[in-house]
Amino acid sequence: MTINFKIKNRLPFLTTMVCAVLFIQCKTEPKPVAKTVINETILKAPDGFSVAEIGKDLGAVRHLTVAKNGDIYANRSVLKDGKAIILLKDSNNDGTIDEQQQFAELPGTGILATDDYLYASSNSAVFRYQLNENHEIVDTNSPEKLVDGLIDMGMDNAKPFTIDNNDNLYVTIGSWNDACRDDNSGMMPCTLLDSAGGIWKFKANMLNQTFADGSRYATGLKNAVGINWNAKTNSLFATDHGRGGLHNFYPDVFTQKQDGELPAETLYELKEGDDAGWPKTYYDHFKNSRLLAPEYGGDGEQIAEENFIKPIAAFPAHLAPNDLLFYTGDMFPEKYKNGAFIAFHNQSSELKKGFFVAFVPFKDGKPSGDWEIFLDNFAGFDLANPSEGTLKHRPCGLAQGPDGALYVCDDFGGSIFKVTY
């Protein structure tokens, strides 16, 4: 599949104004895309999809979840009005958000609604709130602590999580050191891996656990912010951020261009005991190979010989995959069924594109074709010509509603978008 990155002509001024006022779907030829004007930003989706901004000015909303009653919860990485979690409700079921509530005092990223609980994480803990028979929180002031004492060094410190079908809780603990580097050399061994740079497993139905109560499920992941249990394959998937600094620390080995294009961002299916190779290696999507990192003697060409797992998909460098969702709804066309949506939080110098939601088609539990951009132009301007505008939105979190709609939250502009077909 080839992705066309040519910049489409802007809509005529009159058409843009009509779309903004009437909030209708606008199309351009020859390749129509649904365009919804939102705060002077035109989001682009495949033909047949509509995008609505259902919340704005919400603060740094990182991940979000939708309860079975349709209530939308988002977790903030920075407190707003002194609160971390915001709830959006459509109290009269007319399709419009008409009520907001805020609670929780610890900023964080992860959040997940199940039949009985709303789970959320701070940067060092995971906790839960009891839901009643109407899937509403019983008491916002009294969360139960599941796990506490997870390391927080102030960088890449989010604790995203997921839960499997057997009440196992999987929590990412990212590394605050980009390449486990001590001066210009790699730490041997990398002692950070004892408490970071991987995914740890705890129990979702046990209170007051500490870090010592968990087990390291997978290692060698620098910062797996996108993490999801796939009920179809009954396995754990995660997206990992690649390291940086190749040219800055090793200018004799890597050019500035290579620094912008390497290493790949990656998607893994993980089994217990897997090692994804960080910090000793990185993945090169041009060579389709795992290479030895320069801190450990690599020269940009040397293949890593150890038995590290390979990603099931690789993406251009520095896109920052910040959430992962497997689509199980019936609203979208069949091609999206059981495929993976990924929210990319940054931009790629290789593509001269960024700040978009991508889609990876799956068949029989494996990627079945090239990835594609699904929802684009969160930035609000042509990234190939950065002088044309200022950043509007950065997609960060993904959720699926009971009706099959896709929700995307934005931790830069503070918006939540709903995508329907």
pLDDT in tens, 64-98: 999 999 999 999 999 999 999 999 999 888 888 99
Sign of CA dihedral 149, 151, 156, 161: negative
Least confident of 29-43, 298-312, 315-329: 29-43
Bridge partners, residue 168, by sequence? 203
Q: How much is the average pLDDT of 194-208?
A: 98
Tokens at 9, concatenated: 């002509």
CA atoms of 358 and 398, how far apart (whole Å): 11
Q: How much is the average pLDDT of 305-309?
A: 92
Distances (CA, A) of 203 to 6, 172, 213, 390: 48, 14, 9, 44
For the cut 50, the answer to whether the pLDDT of residue 116 exceeds it is yes
Of residues 41 and 330, more confidently modeled:
330
Of residues 41 and 169, more confidently modeled:
169
For residue 25, the one-letter residue type is Q
Q: How much is the average pLDDT of 301-305?
A: 93
Tokens at 129, concatenated: 């709130």
Residue of 137, 112, 134, 107 lying closest to 123 (CA atoms): 107
Domains of the chain plus CATH, in order, are 54-420 (2.120.10.30)
Q: How much is the average pLDDT of 347-369?
A: 96
The pLDDT score that the predictor gives to residue 7 is: 32
Q: Are 181 and 246 in contact (CB under 8 A)?
A: no
Q: 13-33 as b/e, with b when 16 or more CB fall inside 10 Å?
A: eeebeebbeeeebbeeeeeeb
Strands (E), 166-249: 168-173, 181-182, 185-186, 198-203, 209-210, 215-219, 226-230, 235-240
Q: Could you count the other beta carbons within 10 Å of the beta carbon of residue 249?
A: 18
The pLDDT score that the predictor gives to residue 185 is: 64
Least confident of 32-36, 199-203, 235-239: 32-36
For the cut 90, the answer to whether the pLDDT of residue 162 exceeds it is yes
Residue of 323, 321, 318 lying closest to 397 (CA atoms): 323
The pLDDT score that the predictor gives to residue 105 is: 96
Q: How much is the average pLDDT of 337-356?
A: 96
Q: Are 59 and 414 in contact (CB under 8 A)?
A: yes
Question: What percent of the chain clears pLDDT 90, i.e. is strictly above it?
Answer: 83
Tokens at 123, concatenated: 């940067």
Q: What is the pLDDT of residues 204-256, one digit of tens each?
A: 999 999 999 999 999 999 999 999 999 999 999 999 999 999 999 999 999 99
Tokens at 125, concatenated: 């803990």
260 DSSP assignment: H
Question: Cis ω on the peptide bond leading into residue 333 (within 30° of 0)?
Answer: no
Of residues 348 and 186, more confidently modeled:
348
Q: What is the pLDDT of residues 318-331, one digit of tens each?
A: 999 999 999 999 99
For the cut 80, the answer to whether the pLDDT of residue 341 exceeds it is yes
Which residues have C-beta within 8 Å of that of residue 260, sequence separation ≥ 6?
317, 318, 348, 349, 350
The pLDDT score that the predictor gives to residue 305 is: 86
Q: Which pLDDT band, with edges at 50, 70 and 90, does 184 fall under? A: low
Distances (CA, A) of 366 to 199, 329, 356, 363: 21, 18, 22, 5
Q: How much is the average pLDDT of 338-345?
A: 98
Residue of 410, 417, 419, 418 lying closest to 61 (CA atoms): 410
Rounded to the nearest integer, the mean pLDDT of the chain is 90
Residue of 353, 368, 275 lying closest to 316 (CA atoms): 353
Three-class DSSP category at 298: coil
Q: What is the pLDDT of residues 259-293, one digit of tens each?
A: 999 999 999 999 999 999 999 999 999 999 999 99
